[in-house]
Amino acid sequence: MNAKTETLDLPEGACLTAKVPDRDEALLGDVVVNPYRLAPLTAIIRDGGRAISAAHVRVRGRGERGVDISYDVSDRSLWTYGGIPVFGLYPDHVNQVEVSYKLDGERIREQYQIYAPAVRLPVVAKQTAALPEVVPVKVAPGFEQRLYLFNHLLGDIPGGRALKWNALGGAAEWDQVGNNWIADSNGDVRWYLDIEQIHDSNRRDGLGGTMGFQQTRDGKLIWGQGQTYSKYDLLGRQVWQRNLPDKFADFSHEIRETPHGTYLLRVGTSDYRRPDGKRVRSVRDHIIEVNEAGDVLEFWDLNQILDPYRGDLLETLGKAAVQLPAGVARQDSNLANELAEGDLPFGDIPGVGTGRNWAHVNAIDYDADDDSIIISARHQGVVKIGRDKQVKWILASPQGWPQRLRDKVLKPIASEGFDWSWTQHTAWLTGKGTLTVFDNGWGRDFAATKLSGNYSRAVEYRIDEAKGTVEQVWEYGKERGDEWYSPVTSVVAYRPETDTQFIYSASVGFLTKDKLTTTTLNEVRRGTQEVLVELKVLSRQPGSVGYRALVIELDKAF
Structural domain boundaries of the chain?
A: 2-116, 132-141+234-540
Quickly list H helices, 373-506: none
pLDDT 10s digits, 233-248: 999 999 999 999 999 9
Sequence-ordered strand ranges (E) for 216-343: 221-225, 228-232, 238-243, 248-249, 255-257, 263-273, 279-290, 296-301
- pLDDT of 23 strictly over 70: no
pLDDT in the model for residue 449 = 83
Structure confidence at residue 222 as a pLDDT band (50, 70, 90): very high
pLDDT in the model for residue 211 = 96
For 45, 79, 246, 252, the CA distances from 49, given in Å and listed in that order, are: 12, 11, 44, 43
pLDDT 10s digits, 390-404: 999 999 999 999 999
pLDDT in the model for residue 344 = 77
Structure confidence at residue 172 as a pLDDT band (50, 70, 90): low
Residue type, 450: K
pLDDT 10s digits, 138-151: 999 999 999 999 99
Whole-angstrom distance, CA of residue 31 vs CA of residue 82: 11
Among 152, 199, 253, 425, the active-site one is: 425
Would you call 425 a catalytic residue per the annotation?
A: yes
Positive or negative, the CA dihedral 341, 344, 348, 352 is: negative
Average pLDDT, the chain: 89
482, 509 in Cβ contact below 8 A?
no
Positive or negative, the CA dihedral 199, 204, 208, 211 is: negative
- pLDDT of 19 strictly over 60: no
Domain 2-116, CATH: 2.60.40.3100
User: Phi/psi at 367 (nearest 5 deg)?
Assistant: -105, 105
Structure confidence at residue 301 as a pLDDT band (50, 70, 90): very high
For 36, 173, 244, 250, the CA distances from 205, given in Å and listed in that order, are: 20, 13, 9, 10
* High-pLDDT (> 70) share of the chain, %: 90
For 120, 303, 459, the CA distances from 493, given in Å and listed in that order, are: 31, 28, 10
The DSSP bridge partners found for residue 53 are 102
User: Which element (helix H / strand E) includes 182?
Assistant: strand 177-184
Structure confidence at residue 2 as a pLDDT band (50, 70, 90): low
Whole-angstrom distance, CA of residue 102 vs CA of residue 110: 11
Whole-angstrom distance, CA of residue 81 vs CA of residue 43: 10
For 31, 136, 326, 352, the CA distances from 311, given in Å and listed in that order, are: 58, 41, 14, 6
- In this predicted structure, which of 69-83, 211-225, 309-323, 500-514 has the lowest mean pLDDT? 309-323
For 63, 78, 184, the CA distances from 95, given in Å and listed in that order, are: 11, 21, 15
pLDDT in the model for residue 328 = 75
User: Which element (helix H / strand E) includes 87?
Assistant: strand 83-87
* DSSP-derived secondary structure letter, 416: T
547, 522 in Cβ contact below 8 A?
no
Whole-angstrom distance, CA of residue 235 vs CA of residue 263: 22
Structure confidence at residue 314 as a pLDDT band (50, 70, 90): confident
Structure confidence at residue 11 as a pLDDT band (50, 70, 90): very low
Give the global pTM.
Answer: 0.92
* DSSP-derived secondary structure letter, 130: -
Burial of 477 (C-beta count, 10 Å sphere; 0-12/13-18/19+):
buried
The larger pLDDT score, comparing residue 129 to residue 497, is at 497
pLDDT in the model for residue 201 = 82
- How large is the average pLDDT for residues 8-21? 35
* High-pLDDT (> 90) share of the chain, %: 74
Quick one: CATH architecture of 132-141+234-540? 6 Propeller (2.120)
Quick count: other Cβ atoms within 10 Å of Cβ 242?
15
The DSSP bridge partners found for residue 70 are 58
Positive or negative, the CA dihedral 411, 417, 419, 421 is: negative
pLDDT in the model for residue 26 = 46
pLDDT 10s digits, 516-527: 899 999 999 999
pLDDT in the model for residue 293 = 95
